[in-house]
Amino acid sequence: MAKAAAESERMDLTIDELARETGMTARNIRAHQSRGLLPPPEVRSRTGYYGTEHVTRIRLIQDMQGQGFNLKSIERLLHLGSAGGAEQTLQFERLLLQPFGTEQPEAVAQEELGETFGDPLDRKLVAKAERIGALRPIGEGIWEVPSPTLLRASRELVALGIPLEHALAVGESITKHTTAIAREFVRLFVKDVLDPIREGSEPSDKALATAAEALERLRPLASEAVLASFGQVMTAAVERQMAKELG
């Protein structure tokens, strides 16, 4: 019975079907395969078939790229994971998939979006918000808001009399700079934590646990460092501007 259930859940996807399922192009799937990021498909009658493990691995790669890991770093992490036991590897991959923040995306309808983007909607501003990733269209008249906090901040800025276009420009700048910061933390993790672990003499399972612990500790440290630095920089910027205005 268990075997029958497993068979019913089994996925047999051609490369084009896998591309549609994951949103990754067939060309990129082949490229990831050649780098060893994806296991080879099961070949039957000269056709390669991909399964659940391929879908899961591709989504892991996509999520890691979204967190700032480049393909070389992802390759190192996945190879480290594959060196451990199945349970340790699964735990490590789950840790990699965890978002750094606890904020959950929200879906908003056109009526609610109108509170910020005008009624009727200013389509140019909506398009700009989509371009910078503040909004993601998911249906007719429905958008996903990746960060409700940022949308609320934009609404508050508009309430203070700041044009939404200017608020979005600030949001775009924030995203640009925080992306650079995230990449720096990822670079530190890979170069100064992951590479020494990989090159060390620890057994693979222990090395995997060490890397997972380091990544888990990095999460709050990165957020705390950014918040502390921003507080200092913001205070100094306000003081300089006020001295200029009043002096």
Residue 202 has pLDDT above 50, yes or no: yes
pLDDT tens for each residue of 115-130: 889 878 899 999 999 9
Three-class HEC string of 86-149: HHHHHHHHHHHHCCCCCCCCEEEEHHHHHHHHCCCCCHHHHHHHHHCCCCEEEECCEEEECCHH
Determine the Cα–Cα distance for residues 66 and 69; give it in Å rounded to an integer: 7
pTM of the entire structure?
Answer: 0.58
Contact criterion met (CB below 8 Å) for 189 and 218: yes
Determine the Cα–Cα distance for residues 147 and 44; give it in Å rounded to an integer: 44
User: Residues 132-152: what's their mean pLDDT?
Assistant: 89
Residue 162 has pLDDT above 90, yes or no: yes
Residue 86 has pLDDT above 60, yes or no: no
pLDDT of residue 228: 93
pLDDT of residue 6: 40
pLDDT of residue 192: 84
